[in-house]
Amino acid sequence: MNSESALREKLATVTRIFAMQGMIGLFGHVSAFDSVTRRVFMSPGMAGDKATTRPADLLVLDLQGKLLDGDGQVPVEWPIHTAIHGARSDALAVAHLHSPYATLFAIAKREFRPVTLQGALFLDGVPVYSEPQLVKTTSEAQRLSGLIGGRRAALLRGHGIVVLGKDIEEMLFASLILEDDTRKAMQAATLGKLGFISPEECRAFATEADWERRAHRAWNYFTRLEARWDRQPATGAGSLA
Ligand SMILES: [Zn+2]
């Protein structure tokens, strides 16, 4: 991937963007894997104000979860990240979020079906991890990673979501789409029957969509928004999740 300082800068930035979007709350965390040094960079766990995360705040772990650098609190669910980074060479960035609308789908055990064109990114589906427990052990995390298989995300029942990407930009983009699509589905459901984007329609859109370019455009847009963010949640309230 990039040099360590560039990777730290990007991971801190995406942590702040998730805070700005109200998607990471108190207990979410994100990670990026340096495939050369085999080290995992991770945002600190609870208690930290994600909106002010800086590159020096990040933790560095090995794939066994040993803390190599950093003095913040290691998230109790660190195995989610190490299991997925260890299992998939195309998952260099992982987010564990409690983003509000996607989490409601996880609570309702609702099968995810795209209702927007961009939802076609999740053409392969989003499985539900059915155990309503924190993912704190390597064996639990490996079960979760196995459930995700080659897909991009999972819903964690009664808990939150896991989203991965080949880089930080793609992980952010996929997380935003999952939250946007679930929000729109819930809001549109109040108007009547949902018009899902069928697998064929998803495939048709996916073949013409340049996901990488879209992800980079989204990155440029959200980094600009974050740079001028005043760090105040719109409502003045924080988020427990
Ligand atoms: Zn969690």
pLDDT at 108: 87
Residues listed for the chain:
241
241 CA from centroid of ligand 1 (Å): 8
Q: Are strands 160-165 and 67-69 parallel, antiparallel or unpaired?
A: unpaired
What's the whole-number mean pLDDT along residues 188-213?
93
The Cα–Cα gap between 174 and 68 comes to 29
Cβ–Cβ under 8 Å, residues 211 and 121: yes
The two three-digit tokens of residue 149, written as one number: 């298989």
Where in the chain are the domains? Answer: 4-225
Query: Mean pLDDT score of the chain, rounded to an integer?
Result: 93
CATH number of 4-225: 3.40.225.10
28 CA from centroid of ligand 1 (Å): 6
207 CA from centroid of ligand 1 (Å): 33
76 CA from centroid of ligand 1 (Å): 9
Confidence of residue 109 (pLDDT cuts 50, 70, 90): confident
Q: What is the pTM of this model?
A: 0.95
pLDDT at 239: 65
19 CA from centroid of ligand 1 (Å): 15
pLDDT at 49: 85
47 CA from centroid of ligand 1 (Å): 14
Q: What is the pLDDT of residues 67-93, one digit of tens each?
A: 999 998 999 999 999 999 999 999 999
Q: Is the pLDDT of residue 124 over 50?
A: yes
Q: What is the pLDDT of residues 130-173, one digit of tens each?
A: 999 999 999 999 999 999 999 999 999 999 999 999 999 999 99
Confidence of residue 240 (pLDDT cuts 50, 70, 90): low
95 CA from centroid of ligand 1 (Å): 10
What's the whole-number mean pLDDT along residues 196-219?
94
Q: Is the pLDDT of residue 241 over 90?
A: no
Reference 101, options 45, 46, 177, 49; nearest CA is 177
